[in-house]
Amino acid sequence: MPLAEAQALLDGAARAGRLPEPALLPDNPDADQAALRSLAWACSRFSPWVSIEPSEPLDTLVLDITGCTHLFGDEWAMAAQVAGMLHRCGYFPFIALADTIGAAWALAHYGDFVRGRPRRLESLPVDALRLPASVVQTLHALDLHRISQLDRLPRASLPSRFGSILIQRLDQLAGRQPESLAPIPPPEPIEACRSFEYPVSDARALTVALRQLLDQVLKTLPPHEGILRLTVRLQTAEKKPVPFEVGLVRPTESAEHLMQLLRLQWERRSLPDQVTDIRIRVAQTAPMLSRQRWLFGDGTGLSGVRREDERHLAELLDRLSNRLGPNCVLRPQLQPDAQPERAVVYEPVQTFVVPALAAKNRLKAKGSRSDRKAKDGRNAFFPGQQTLSLVADRPLQICQPPMAVDVMSVVPEGPPLRVWWNGRSDDVVRSWGPERIQTGWWREETVRRDYFRVELADGRHLWLFRDLVRDQWFLHGTFD
DSSP, residue by residue, 95-116 = -B--SSHHHHHHHHHH--EETT
Separation of alpha carbons 110 and 9, rounded Å: 27
Q: Residue 305's pLDDT band (boundaries 50, 70, 90)? A: low
Q: Which of 37-46, 58-67, 137-146 has the lowest mean pLDDT?
A: 37-46
Query: Which tops the pLDDT comparison, 474 or 308?
Result: 474
Question: What residues have CB less than 8 Å from 47, skipping those under 6 apart?
Answer: 63, 64, 65, 68
> Distances in Å between the alpha carbon of 197 and those of 97, 194, 413?
57, 10, 82
Confidence (pLDDT) at 336: 76
Confidence (pLDDT) at 372: 34
Query: Which tops the pLDDT comparison, 308 or 201?
Result: 201
Query: Which tops the pLDDT comparison, 15 or 362?
Result: 15
Per-residue pLDDT, averaged over 146-151, amounts to: 92
pLDDT averaged over every residue in the chain = 80
Confidence (pLDDT) at 351: 55
Q: Residue 143's pLDDT band (boundaries 50, 70, 90)? A: very high
For the chain, give every domain's residue range: 24-183+360-368, 190-292, 398-479
Inter-helix orientation angle 307-324/255-268, to 10°: 30
Confidence (pLDDT) at 377: 36
8 A C-beta contact, residue 158 and residue 147: no
Confidence (pLDDT) at 126: 93
391 pLDDT more than 60: no
Q: Residue 29's pLDDT band (boundaries 50, 70, 90)? A: confident
Most confident stretch, 76-85, 388-397, 449-458: 449-458
DSSP class of residue 355 equals -
Nearest C-alpha neighbor of 172 from the set 111, 124, 131: 131
35 pLDDT more than 90: no
8 A C-beta contact, residue 145 and residue 139: yes
With pLDDT > 70 as the criterion, what percentage of the chain qualifies? 83
Query: pLDDT digits over 222-278, tens only?
Result: 777 888 889 999 998 877 888 888 888 888 888 999 998 888 887 777 777 788 999
Q: Residue 118's pLDDT band (boundaries 50, 70, 90)? A: low
The pTM of the whole model exceeds 0.85 = no
Confidence (pLDDT) at 427: 94
Query: Which tops the pLDDT comparison, 95 or 289?
Result: 95
Confidence (pLDDT) at 63: 93
Confidence (pLDDT) at 119: 62
65 pLDDT more than 60: yes
Query: pLDDT digits over 206-237, tens only?
Result: 889 999 999 999 998 877 788 888 999 999 88
369 pLDDT more than 60: no
Separation of alpha carbons 101 and 174, rounded Å: 10
Confidence (pLDDT) at 11: 75
Q: Which of 18-22, 35-39, 194-198, 467-471 has the lowest mean pLDDT?
A: 18-22
Confidence (pLDDT) at 373: 35
Per-residue pLDDT, averaged over 418-441, amounts to: 89
8 A C-beta contact, residue 107 and residue 96: yes
Confidence (pLDDT) at 92: 86
CATH number for the region 190-292 comes to 3.30.1490.100
Q: Residue 6's pLDDT band (boundaries 50, 70, 90)? A: confident
Q: What phi and psi values does residue 82 have, to the nearest 5 degrees? A: -65, -45
Confidence (pLDDT) at 137: 93
Q: Residue 279's pLDDT band (boundaries 50, 70, 90)? A: very high
With pLDDT > 90 as the criterion, what percentage of the chain qualifies? 30
8 A C-beta contact, residue 282 and residue 230: yes
Inter-helix orientation angle 255-268/203-219, to 10°: 140
